[in-house]
Amino acid sequence: MFNIFKKNTMDEIIVKSPITGKIIKIDEVPDKVFSGKLVGDGIAILPQDNYVYAPVNGEIVQIAPQKYAIGFRTKENIEILIHLGIDTVKLKGEGFEVYASKNQRIKSGDKLIKVDWDFVSENAKSIISPIVITNMEIIKELKIIPNEYVKAGDDLFSIILKN
């Protein structure tokens, strides 16, 4: 007999929005590396606030020397990349103020980076910022939370890992 009260055995991991702004589908990002999901799958945000926050509890595993990207790893070994704008490597760190460091333990909601989006929009291809899971091979299901707009800290997507 089917037990409707049986606990779901698949643990769902929630990734919070690191940025306040308008949701953009990953296949609409103006960069083929992201729109083609060559780096991973996820979502993008058109920012409407200057701060970037940690989307998960975990560890910072990379910060680009030019400050435009930051990577995380959760205790479940999910790897997340936040790429701030498109073609922002050429800004050589200008417009980005980083408050975190590589190997730092972080909690969801920790303030990590301040971005001067006006400067970035004037000097880079786009301010659209992808948030992607870079090790999709361990992911069973990635569910985008259906929103048109998110505030930093809102649920962005949920993940179920492969067994």
Buried b (16+ CB within 10 A) or exposed e, 110-124: bebbebebeebeeeb
Instruction: State residue 10's pLDDT score.
Output: 58
- pTM for the model stands at 0.92
Enzyme catalytic residues: 83
Give the CATH number for residue 37. Answer: 2.70.70.10
Q: Is there a domain that residue 1 lies in? A: no
Count of structural domains, the chain? 1
Q: Following DSSP, what letter does each residue of 134-147 receive, concatenated?
A: S-GGGEEEEEE---
Q: pLDDT of the chain along its 163 residues, tens only?
A: 444 444 444 589 999 999 999 999 999 999 999 999 999 999 999 999 999 999 999 999 999 999 999 999 999 999 999 999 999 999 999 999 999 999 999 999 999 999 999 999 999 999 999 999 999 999 999 999 988 999 999 999 999 999 8
Domain hosting residue 68, numbered range:
12-161
